[in-house]
Amino acid sequence: MVYSEARDEGIVAELDVADWRTWPRANPKRFQSKGHGYLWVDVHVAPDAAATYADRDAVPAPGFRVLMAGYDTATATKPTGLTLMAKVSATDWFYAVLGQDGKKATLQGAALPVCTGCHQHAPRTPIFGLAP
Ligand code: HEC
């Protein structure tokens, strides 16, 4: 799957994350995601979820949202697309591939196989977290 193909066209996103640019960035420096085709990425976590994402022992609560913005290069300012994971109930997660405005989705849903195929094997299922 080539996430950089996720452009702005698409269906209305069920979760509006249009304010994602204001979310704290969890990674110190943009890195190439080996899970996401070595796309350059930044991980942004909703302000109220940042501490939970950083703490490997914390269990995300419903409302927890983390997204990865993908870029063609290490310095590009315009992302090619966003991938989002959100915890929507005590047990359920929601996945989406969004355009850069965070309002339109090219793919979204609960337990999307294209996402869970990897993320169900993540150390803090479904969260991989950043490399130490
Ligand atoms: C081939 C395996 C693979 C697939 C498929 C995959 N991911 Fe990931 N994802 C990863 C890995 C590994 C990371 C951790 C960053 C890294 O090192 O690449 C990650 C990180 C993330 C993050 C940052 C949060 C975290 O886990 O720490 C989000 C958000 C994310 N992926 C969303 C998605 C969505 C949405 C899909 C489906 C459209 C998806 N991913 C499909 C492997 C995958």
pLDDT, average across residues 102-110: 94
Model confidence at 132, in pLDDT bands (50, 70, 90)?
confident
> Residue 6 — pLDDT band, cuts 50, 70, 90?
very low
Pairwise CA distance, residues 50 & 25, whole Å: 9
Is the distance from the beta carbon of residue 3 to the nearest atom of ligand 1 less than 6 Å? no
Provide the pLDDT confidence category of residue 106 given band limits of 50, 70 and 90.
Answer: very high
What local confidence, expressed as pLDDT, does residue 4 receive? 46
Q: Which atom of ligand 1 is nearest to the CA of 95?
A: 35
**How many Å lie between the centroid of ligand 1 and the Cα of residue 50?**
17
User: Is the pLDDT confidence value at 19 over 50?
Assistant: yes
Q: Is the CB of 97 under 6 A from ligand 1?
A: yes
**Is any atom of ligand 1 closer than 6 Å to the C-beta of 54?**
no
Please report which confidence band the pLDDT of residue 1 belongs to, taking 50, 70 and 90 as the band edges.
very low
Instruction: Tell which residue, 37, 38, 61, 39, has the closest CA to residue 49.
Output: 61
Using the predicted structure, report yes or no on whether residue 102 has a pLDDT greater than 70.
Answer: yes
Q: Whose CA is nearest to atom 21 of ligand 1?
A: 68
How far is residue 113's CA from residue 9's CA, in Å, rounded to a whole number? 22
Q: Map out the domains of the chain as residue ranges.
A: 3-119
| pLDDT for res 2 | 45
Q: What is the pLDDT of residue 131?
A: 80
CA distances 33 to 73, 120, 130, Å, are 12, 17, 10
Whole-number Å distance between alpha carbons of 32 and 73? 9
When pLDDT is averaged across residues 51-56 and rounded to a whole number, the result is 95
